[in-house]
Amino acid sequence: MNEDLELIDLFVDHLLLSDGLSRNTLDAYRRDLAKLAARLDGEGGGLATAGAEALAAALQPQDGEKPATRARLIAACRRFYLFLFDSGQRADDPAQRLKGPLPRRTLPRTLSEADVDALLAAPDTATPLGLRDRAMFELMYATGLRVSELVGLQLSELDLAAGVVSTIGKGNKQRLVPMGEPAQQWLAVYLAEARPLLLSGRACEEVFVTVRRAGMTRQMAWQLVKRYTGMLGLTGVSPHTLRHAFATHLVNHGADLRVVQLLLGHADISTTQIYTHVARERLRALHARHHPRG
């Protein structure tokens, strides 16, 4: 088992250096491979020496295991053994013929434009914290930033005059995302009035700060979204839901998928194509509601 854990560490280091993946993605690879190593260890083997049959057996669905979880395990397994083969640490690739479950395309949870309007209007902008939250929600909806990109955003990456945000996304790739006038205006007010009060003279590079006079965490951004949407009676909403709303509303209003792909920072257009399904579902619902034979 120790040998397996050392190999996993080598693999994760390789991903960090070659692909520049985020810490969360690297941690997910590490957890999945450690889980697989534990299953193989229980059968008297391990990752280092496992053959194709042992891998296939270890990757059989477990009680209560979702297809998406098994698909992720198989994807991690394939990449791990390809790394071992390419680096000469194994003479074969036992994961080459592994087949995962058929992908199940699910529509992302999103918000209607009315829901978003209600969320944007929910913070009490007469207070510094309310101003911060309004500016934060406006920017999230205007740009579709990931929550990690949002809380990591620094003052130097914000150009209010040009109405553009520069961010480093997955794979350590930089992209420029425009924002609309409402987001620009609320950010200008927040930066001029609320942020200095929250920091009380302390220097901080992050755009969004807390009463602790430091940058906001991912966990706090999640809590704020849940708190305000809970007040509005909306359930199951996360920062990623606002990102989905950003993309969905763009597509609904005629934006090209390639443009949405660039704005979201998706490496592959296939990731963005799910929003065509979102738009089709909306069209079906409108047809059913308004057509005399709907």
Is 277 one of the catalytic residues? no
Residues 79, 175, 266, 282: which is the catalytic one? 266
Catalytic residue among 81, 141, 190, 275: 275
Written as one string, the DSSP assignment of the chain is: -HHHHHHHHHHHHHHHHHH---HHHHHHHHHHHHHHHHHHHHTT--TTT--HHHHHHHTSPPTT--HHHHHHHHHHHHHHHHHHHHTTS-SS-TTTT--PPPP---PPP---HHHHHHHHH-S-TTSHHHHHHHHHHHHHHHH---HHHHHH-BGGGEETTTTEEEEE-GGG-EEEEE--HHHHHHHHHIIIIIHHHHHTT----BSSB-TTSSBPPHHHHHHHHHHHHHHTT--S--HHHHHHHHHHHHHHTT--HHHHHHHHT-SSHHHHTHHHHHHHHHHHHHHHHHSTT-
Looking at 79, 170, 175, 282, which residue is catalytic? 170
Check if 253 is active-site.
no
Catalytic residue among 39, 78, 132, 146: 146
Set 72, 90, 218, 240: catalytic member: 240
For residue 240, indicate whether it is catalytic: yes
Question: Catalytic site residue 170?
Answer: yes
Question: Which residue of the set 39, 134, 243, 244 is catalytic?
Answer: 243
30 in catalytic set: no
Catalytic site positions: 146, 170, 240, 243, 266, 275
